[in-house]
Amino acid sequence: MPDTRRVVIAVLPDVDLLDVTGPAEVFALADRETGGAAGYRVELAAPARGEVATSAGLRLVADLSFDEVDGVLDTLLVPGALEAGPGDGNPRVDADVVAWIARIAPLARRVVSLCLGTHLLAATGMLDGRTATTHWSAAAQLAAEHPGVTVDPDPIFVRCGSVWTGAGIGSCMDLALALVAEDLGEEVALAVARQLVVYVRRRGGQSQFSVPLSRPPAARRDIDELRMFIVDHLDGDLSATALAARMCLSERHFARVFRQETGTTPAAYVEAARVEAARSLLEGTDQPLDRVAAACGLGSVETLHRALRKRLGTTPAAYRRRFRMTA
């Protein structure tokens, strides 16, 4: 194991502040939890040394210019930024920055992009033939501009060999925790998550939108409360009959109200919530499939297989192989 894990974060003008400070805080806490044994050393690199404005209006101070970065890196971390002025909303892809990444990336053990930084990695060609993700709002553009990249807009992050790509913003914390888990083990990553008061460390295959957040709030408060009840009681009786009784409505009237408020049927919503829970268990545990199926309310391994094939186009075993971060 190296004495020092050198992490260089590329800081572009108007970069998302959290995509820089979030991972830096995770690495700092990992050092604290291990008494300095983690050995992370974070450096900020920018086109020029000195202050760099962020999208939040606050300023960061770059330790190095891009030209001054040399030597061996453990991790190169590349957040992105939006173009300012006319054409606002497009990822910023500067040719000089792309050339620098292409030169520096071979010096790093792993390369990580956050949010719109995936567009910079794609422009170097290093994502060709790989699966990658980015912020959901820019995924279609990434796929259109880089047909050699398999763009998956759903996960919060994707690992493909030594290259990691993330959805950015809040998910930068999840990706950084996954890097710590790879380096130091799950226990250290969990200890860091506790220090951050993170309710649960999300795994890479989780959707950028959880089931409760995938639909706008309902006009009826009782329907919103029912949606949360479903997520909290996945292993219980969530049949339309039971849910209608809980709402004190006839089954027919309940089905009509639920669809009007959520845009989907009660059965489809329950299945989506159970599949999301199954994904989390497949990624984060080694529980056998029958226990996974029972815990999330799908009942049997056959039902688990059927639900994952229907919603994700894959099997539980294949999903676990792809998204299980550590043994």
> Residue 85: its pLDDT value, please?
60
> Residue 209: its pLDDT value, please?
44
Give the list of residues 6+ apart from residue 65 with CB closer than 8 angstroms, or none. Answer: 45, 46, 47, 48, 49
> Residue 200: its pLDDT value, please?
46
CB-CB contact of 315 with 275 (8 Å) = no
How buried is residue 88: exposed, middle or buried, by Cβ count under 10 Å (0-12/13-18/19+)? exposed
> Residue 88: its pLDDT value, please?
53
User: pLDDT for 214-249, tens place per residue?
Assistant: 455 556 788 888 988 998 899 999 999 999 999 999
Residues of the chain with pLDDT under 70: 1-3, 85-89, 198-219, 323-327
> Residue 242: its pLDDT value, please?
95
> Residue 217: its pLDDT value, please?
53
Q: Which two tokens stand for residue 71?
A: 């030597």
Cα–Cα distance for residue pair 164/159, rounded to 1 Å: 4
C-alpha neighbours within 13 Å on the C-beta side of residue 123: 21
Cα–Cα distance for residue pair 69/229, rounded to 1 Å: 52
Q: Which two tokens stand for residue 220?
A: 């009826």
SS3 content of the chain, % helix, strand, coil (to 5): 45, 15, 35
Domains of the chain, with CATH numbers?
5-195 (3.40.50.880), 211-327 (1.10.10.60)
Q: Which two tokens stand for residue 159?
A: 């690992």
CB-CB contact of 91 with 141 (8 Å) = yes
Measured over the CA atoms of residue 165, residue 171, residue 173 and residue 177, the dihedral's sign is negative
Cα–Cα distance for residue pair 4/45, rounded to 1 Å: 18
